[in-house]
Amino acid sequence: MATKPATPAQSRTALVRRARKVNRILGETYPDARCELDFDNAFELLVVTVLSAQTTDRRVNAARPEIFRRWPDAATMAAADRAEMEQVIGPLGFFRAKTESLLKLSAALVSDHGGEVPGRLDDLVKLPGVGRKTANVVLGNAFDVPGITVDTHFGRLVRRFGWTEETDPVKVEHAVGALFEKRDWTMLSHHVIWHGRRRCHAKKPACGACPVAHWCPSYGEGPVDPDVAAKLVKTQGPA
């Protein structure tokens, strides 16, 4: 006799339980998970997050001391010499566009927020060059306001995990957020992103060395042999 199909409520309950189980295990696997961009305050975090587009966190961290030695706050950055800034951030790539973003961003902070970074999503996303991803990074890590950071790693993994089929970052954020308590959103982001950078790679995930393989419907997309998979595991984020 055919098995009775699960009701939507049962299916939803199973999904929530599986998703939260995966998050707990990832938290145990990566107890040091955090934002991998260095910062001392909300302004620094906002700036380095903007600069991190199309480059690695490690490169941004290397450039950070000189950037904030020259322009430690929004007022000094808004008054920066464009050519000087382009030279300083040149190694990060797309330096003209990034310089333009930082000049406009810092000017908006000075004119609209007294030089301070606002702690509300609606205010952050109105700033030049700041989208929901950047806003959630700043809210979660500088203001302790829960937020989900949907970067390329996060989007890839939550689809592999079967948590959502959405591809639009905002829809991914809302769909995944509904599976977890709001208080867990920021650390959930760190757990998933760390796993994406270290094991669940885009082209060849280390399935045979994955701590959540048992709960992953995409198991087998990468090598399942433990020895082969172990060689794919990185001990830190990308250089």
Q: Which of 57, 133, 144, 231 is catalytic?
A: 133
Q: Which of 112, 151, 184, 204 is catalytic?
A: 151
Domains 8-31+148-230 and 42-142 fall in the same CATH topology: no
**pLDDT of 9 higher than 60:** no
In angstroms, the CA 215 to CA 16 distance is: 12
Q: Where are the domains of the chain?
A: 8-31+148-230, 42-142
Q: What pLDDT was estimated at residue 236? A: 76
Active site residue 234: no
- pTM for the full model? 0.91
The pLDDT tens digits of the residues spanning 145-199 come to 999 999 999 999 999 999 999 999 999 999 999 999 999 999 999 999 999 999 9
In angstroms, the CA 136 to CA 131 distance is: 9
Q: Does domain 8-31+148-230 have CATH number 1.10.1670.10?
A: yes
Q: Does domain 42-142 have CATH number 1.10.1660.10?
A: no
Active site residue 151: yes
CB atoms within 10 A of CB 204: 13
The pLDDT tens digits of the residues spanning 25-69 come to 999 999 999 999 999 999 999 999 999 999 999 999 999 999 999
Interaxial angle between packed helices 152-160 and 169-177, expressed in degrees from 0 to 180 and rounded to the nearest 10? 50
